């Protein structure tokens, strides 16, 4: 029973990170209608920036804050320079450009900081809490809750959040009432990059810092986003946490599976959910006009 | 938006391809001659090249066959797959297991791999087509991630060879042909590619292909017209998987080695990039896509070893800026340009 509780808590902790990645994916998807395959690499690059700042002697919390700000700016910059000219291009074109961006970031990180693994210090310290859960894991859960609460307040209670939602729902009408839809897309990219950097810096103490560290996290994040329904931020958080729990439980309690097959099993369970409920747990059903 | 990942260009390209049939006899004969000359060139030229280059060209054609298969799915039936690397793997493994454990002649492994992949593709297709667009992408993606892991499982290690995989012997040319085995595999691959291409083209002109195009353009309308959309979507999935499976079997023969880690998710992505670069919905684009998948990563590596991935990424992004609809788009606009020029001349007469 204690093992079960421990595994569920560990699942919630890593699920929180997947939820952050899922939120970042949903932000960009809501604003542009495209899945950002490079989200994980953007997060990885941000994490390297944070690591570099810490190496240069910056206190850990200010390094984290500065990294979040830099990531926001970088996200806006990437949208403005690379994706703005492609607004009207097809989804497949976008997929290819995302793959290109993936390659660039991954290879640059390896070039600048080499491919060896590095340790990223946890801002929450070592040790356990109540003998059940690591301090860092508890910190991960708290961080996820903060990110989710921040986004909720941003979207529900600020003018900018309302404008963002309006532009995502209907760009043309939003423009007619005076919202600069283009800026909204930039902001969405910035927020996505910032959330991604938080996810990266939270998972880095667990998986070690190296250029390929976000690949599996991105996969789980995608799975979480799709499971929750790509149109719903609440769904993304829920989906991410569910994926985290499923991953941990299947690795612990299905003996043949072990560590080898936990990713396929998690994905398989998600597909089963989707076959039963094709629009995701919290997603809108999109009707098609003939 | 992922639901219909196609630009208007593609339906034009396809209808232009259909237009060829109804165009005058003269132009179709000219086309036929051009195709024959190209085939003869493709057959004869490489035989003068060093073996390693022949091997690379063979691999490019093999990738072209799988890109063609993926194009049938994405360009023709409008579905999205991030998992075709898995079908490639299943094709390669089917061929390897049939040859090494069951003593099947290598020639028979190609249809066998095709049949196995068709069946698996069709069976996966049935539940998968319930999921539109992005959800299908996730499902196929899961399939691509799971396949190498499943191939490593200790339960079936006796057959698959586990992590180490299976080594294959290279088939010799049939007695009497003055070819070494690399050259023979090249000729065989070229032949399979031609058959695959002709098959794909005929499929599009047929009832089945038209039904698939209808499903792509508007599934609801197609259903209203009596097309069984579920069946045709699953069928498109199966046929597409079959193409990729045959390519995988050929790939196994040519590389002489199959292992789980040769068929990672990166392969699925590379194939998808091949489709987009060649031109979604434009069948001859497959050969451009195949060449791209084979040679551009090597080229990037030669340009800069440390930054190979970045060079590759920059090439991809620049290509999408310059040719957003791939080479198919380029050809369509060139054709439009030429025919407009001709129309102008005719107007003056």
pLDDT tens digits for range A122-134: 888 777 777 677 8
Residue whose C-alpha is closest to residue B330's, from B9, B6, B8, B4: B9
Q: How many CB pairs under 8 A join A and B?
A: 146
Q: Does residue A95 carry a pLDDT above 50?
A: yes
Quick one: pLDDT band at residue B21, thresholds 50, 70, 90? very low
Which pLDDT belongs to residue B271?
A: 93
Average pLDDT over residues A95-113: 91
Distance (Å, whole) CA B247 – CA B258: 13
Name every chain A residue with its beta carbon within 8 A of the beta carbon of B276.
92-93, 95-96
Which pLDDT belongs to residue A284?
A: 65
Distance (Å, whole) CA B181 – CA B172: 5
Q: Does residue A198 carry a pLDDT above 70?
A: yes
DSSP state of A287: P
Residue where the block lists tokens 């307040």: A153
Name every chain B residue with its beta carbon within 8 A of the beta carbon of A87.
none
In this complex, do B149 and A264 lie within 8 Å of one another by their Cβ atoms? yes
Distance (Å, whole) CA B244 – CA B73: 11
| Of A44 and B148, the one with more pLDDT | A44
Domain positions in chain A are 2-276
Q: Does residue A267 carry a pLDDT above 80?
A: no
ipTM value: 0.83
Of the listed ranges A60-69, A111-120, B108-117, B178-187, the one predicted with least confidence: B178-187
Whether B288 and chain A come into contact, CB under 8 Å, resolves to no
Residue where the block lists tokens 């093999």: B62
**Interior angle at CA A219, CA A217 and CA A224, nearest 5:** 90
In this complex, do A96 and B316 lie within 8 Å of one another by their Cβ atoms? yes
User: A2-276 adopts what CATH topology?
Assistant: ABC transporter involved in vitamin B12 uptake, BtuC (1.10.3470)
Give the range with max mean pLDDT: A171-175, A232-236, B60-64, B216-220. Answer: B60-64
Tokens of B107: 């020639």
In this complex, do A222 and B138 lie within 8 Å of one another by their Cβ atoms? yes
- Give the model confidence (pLDDT) of B127-178 as tens digits: 777 776 667 777 787 888 888 888 887 777 778 887 888 888 878 877 777 7
Quick one: pLDDT band at residue A177, thresholds 50, 70, 90? confident
In this complex, do A99 and B314 lie within 8 Å of one another by their Cβ atoms? no
Name every chain A residue with its beta carbon within 8 A of the beta carbon of B142.
223, 264, 267-268, 270-271
Chain A residue at shortest CA distance from B152: A260
Residue B230's alpha-carbon distances to A123, B123, B216, B239, in angstroms, are 52, 12, 12, 14
Whether A262 and chain B come into contact, CB under 8 Å, resolves to no
Instruction: Tell which A residues from 197 to 236 touch B, by Cβ distance under 8 Å.
Output: 219, 222-223, 226, 230
Distance (Å, whole) CA B205 – CA B213: 10
φ and ψ at A37, to 5 degrees? Answer: -70, -15
Whether A103 and chain B come into contact, CB under 8 Å, resolves to yes
In this complex, do A223 and B145 lie within 8 Å of one another by their Cβ atoms? no
CA-based nearest distance A123→chain B, Å: 32
């Amino acid at each position: 029973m204690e093992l079960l509780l421990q595994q569920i808590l560990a699942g919630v902790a890593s699920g929180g990170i997947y939820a952050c990645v899922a939120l970042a994916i949903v932000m960009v998807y809501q604003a542009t209608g495209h899945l950002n395959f490079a989200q994980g690499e953007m997060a990885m690059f941000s994490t390297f920036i944070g690591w570099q700042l810490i190496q240069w002697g910056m206190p850990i919390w200010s390094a984290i804050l500065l990294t979040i700000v830099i990531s926001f700016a970088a996200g806006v910059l990437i949208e403005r320079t690379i994706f703005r000219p492609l607004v009207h291009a097809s989804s497949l074109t976008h997929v290819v450009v995302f793959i290109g961006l993936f390659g660039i970031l991954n290879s640059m990180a390896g070039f600048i900081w080499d491919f060896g693994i590095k340790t990223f210090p946890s801002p929450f310290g070592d040790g356990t809490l109540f003998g059940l859960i690591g301090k860092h894991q508890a910190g991960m859960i708290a961080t996820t809750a903060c990110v989710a609460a921040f986004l909720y307040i941003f979207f529900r209670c600020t003018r900018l959040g309302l404008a963002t939602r309006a532009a995502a729902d209907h760009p043309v009408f939003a423009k007619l009432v005076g919202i600069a839809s283009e800026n909204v897309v930039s902001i969405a990219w910035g927020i996505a990059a910032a959330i991604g950097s938080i996810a990266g810096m939270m998972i880095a103490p667990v998986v070690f810092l190296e250029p390929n560290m976000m690949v599996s996290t991105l996969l789980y994040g995608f799975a979480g986003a799709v499971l929750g329904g790509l149109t719903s931020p609440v769904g993304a958080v829920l989906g991410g946490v569910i994926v985290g729990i499923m991953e941990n439980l299947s690795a612990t309690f299905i003996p043949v599976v072990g560590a080898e097959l936990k990713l396929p099993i998690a994905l398989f369970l998600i597909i089963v959910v989707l076959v039963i409920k094709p629009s995701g747990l919290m997603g809108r059903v999109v009707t098609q006009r003939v | 938006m992922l639901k219909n990942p196609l630009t208007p260009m593609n339906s034009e390209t396809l209808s232009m391809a259909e237009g060829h049939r109804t165009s005058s006899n003269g132009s179709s004969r000219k086309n036929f001659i051009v195709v024959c000359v190209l085939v003869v060139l493709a057959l004869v030229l490489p035989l003068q090249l060093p073996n390693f280059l022949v091997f690379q060209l063979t691999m490019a054609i093999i990738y072209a066959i799988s890109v063609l298969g993926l194009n049938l799915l994405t360009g023709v039936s409008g579905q999205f797959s991030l998992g075709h690397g898995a079908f490639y793997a299943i094709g390669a493994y089917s061929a390897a297991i049939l040859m090494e454990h069951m003593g099947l002649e290598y020639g028979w492994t190609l249809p066998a791999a095709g049949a196995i992949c068709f069946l698996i593709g069709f069976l996966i297709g049935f539940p998968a087509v319930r999921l539109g667009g992005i959800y299908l992408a996730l499902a196929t993606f899961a399939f691509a991630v799971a396949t190498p892991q499943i191939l490593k499982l200790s339960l079936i290690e006796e057959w698959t060879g586990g992590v180490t995989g299976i080594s294959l012997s290279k088939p010799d040319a049939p007695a009497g042909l003055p070819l070494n085995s690399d050259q023979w595999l090249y000729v065989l691959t070229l032949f399979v590619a031609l058959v695959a291409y002709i098959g794909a083209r005929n499929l599009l002109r047929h009832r089945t292909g038209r039904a698939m195009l209808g499903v792509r353009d508007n599934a609801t309308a197609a259903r209203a017209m009596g097309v069984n959309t579920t069946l045709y979507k699953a069928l498109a999935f199966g046929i597409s998987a079959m193409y990729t499976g045959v390519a995988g079997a050929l790939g196994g023969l040519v590389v002489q080695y199959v292992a789980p880690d040769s068929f990672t998710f990166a392969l699925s992505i590379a194939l998808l990039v091949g489709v987009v670069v060649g031109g979604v919905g434009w069948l001859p684009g497959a050969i451009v896509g195949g060449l791209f998948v084979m040679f551009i990563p090597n080229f990037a590596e030669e340009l800069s070893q440390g930054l190979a991935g970045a060079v590759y990424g920059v090439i991809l992004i620049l290509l999408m800026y310059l040719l957003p609809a791939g080479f198919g788009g380029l050809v369509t606009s060139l054709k439009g340009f030429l025919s407009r020029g001709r129309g102008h001349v005719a107007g003056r007469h």
